[in-house]
Amino acid sequence: MNRAADAGEVTRWLAEHARPLAVPDDEPAGEDGVDAWVRAARGARVVALGPAVVGTRELPQLVTRLLDALVADGGVHTLALQASESGTTLLDDHVRDGTGSAGDTLEALGSWSWNTREVLDLVAGLAPGSGSLRVVGVEPRRPATAVRVVGRFLRTAAPDALPPVADALADLALGYGDDAARAAVARVRERLDVDDPALVAATSAARHAEAVRQAGYLARAAELAATPPGAAGAVAGRLMAQAVVEALEAGGPDERLVLWAHADHVVVRDDTLGGHLRERLGDGYRALVLSAGAGGTQALRRRSVFGPTRTPRRQRFAAPPAGSLEAALLAASPRDAVLDLRAARAPATPAAVTAWAGAPATRRSVGDEVSPRSPVGAVVPCVPGTELDGFAVVRTVHPGWVR
């Protein structure tokens, strides 16, 4: 079979297996793509939703639809975000107990990309105060909330312990650290453990427990901050996977968890968050990457002399390049669609499709900051059959609403 015939067979297979995403006032023929993915993800303990483009309106809205459907399907009681571990505790308090305001809690998550109207709408839909869903962060960076909680506790319960570690904790809050910072955090954790009865008597059991929890977040933050830049990505992947597994185990043996993180982290590759979770959970981990055809987004722009802009700005990008997963799925489907890539692993799959799924391709990868080296139209290598379980594309996207 020649190359053109192979490409035609792949396109036909994609057209047969892609499931359209419904839009308001629209009933597509066949099963809606959201329902199809929820059905495909049954049996998975961790379902990862990974937008490949940060800062759009439509992709967070699609995450919200998928989350709602996965919760309704049963077993999901935890939402894990690629946001500050310590800062997300404020959002969790808001969602479970109704404390604080939603807007203030989003500001504590550590990135402008979480402080948007789309995420605010998701939080509002979680019925704050109902206690129905637990929200956790898995990003070890930006531990400012942990520094405040631990510092306040030590100032009250063990004032002698704070001065020797104050500078190291202040550096961690700003994202800096070295082996001295790791040693300082270790001293804090040891003091919290050794002097448990006295510290509880000076404060309360609840405040002590919270200080212990936040000190654990500081330990991960310090480890990452002290890691050389060349190894930081691999260490971050391991630490985030550790946080996900801890959250999963805290929910009990039947717990299911939805993970919302960038596509670069949820894909199954060596040393990624997704790679560690696949190694730990096997088929109990499923990764769905959400991408875009063309349109606009929001992003900080890193300038060569002055650094990143202080606020995100609108960025536009054209149609995906030939050879990308986005281009392949858009060529096969006339509308927004979801594809279960696990179907390509079935024994009866055409040889051309098996070859396509196992061959290197590209996909979009746009974070919350763009630069000449990482432009808004950037693509990265991807092997669809091994790195992803599912792929969704929204044909046209628009810039999100930054608060």
Rounded Cα gap, residues 86 and 88, in angstroms: 5
Q: What is the pLDDT of residues 8-28, one digit of tens each?
A: 999 999 999 999 997 655 555
- pTM to 2 decimal places: 0.95
Domain residues of the chain, as ranges? 3-75+254-397, 144-231
Q: What is the reported pLDDT for 219?
A: 97
DSSP 3-state of 128: coil
Q: What is the pLDDT of residues 196-251, one digit of tens each?
A: 889 999 999 999 999 999 999 999 999 999 999 999 999 999 999 999 999 999 99
Among 3.40.50.300, 3.40.1660.10, 3.20.20.110, 3.60.15.10, what is the CATH number of 3-75+254-397? 3.40.1660.10
Q: Phi/psi zone of residue 323: left (φ > 0), alpha (ψ -120 to 50 degrees), beta?
A: left
Average pLDDT, the chain: 93
How many other CB atoms are found less than 10 A from the CB of residue 57?
A: 19
Residue 310 reports pLDDT greater than 90: no
Which residue is associated with the tokens 């009933």? 27
Residue 390 reports pLDDT greater than 90: yes
Summarize the confidence of residues 346-373 as an average pLDDT: 94
Q: What is the pLDDT of residues 334-345, one digit of tens each?
A: 899 999 999 999
Angle between helices 144-157 and 205-225 (to 10 degrees): 130
Q: What is the pLDDT of residues 140-194, one digit of tens each?
A: 999 999 999 999 999 999 999 999 999 999 999 998 999 999 999 999 999 999 8
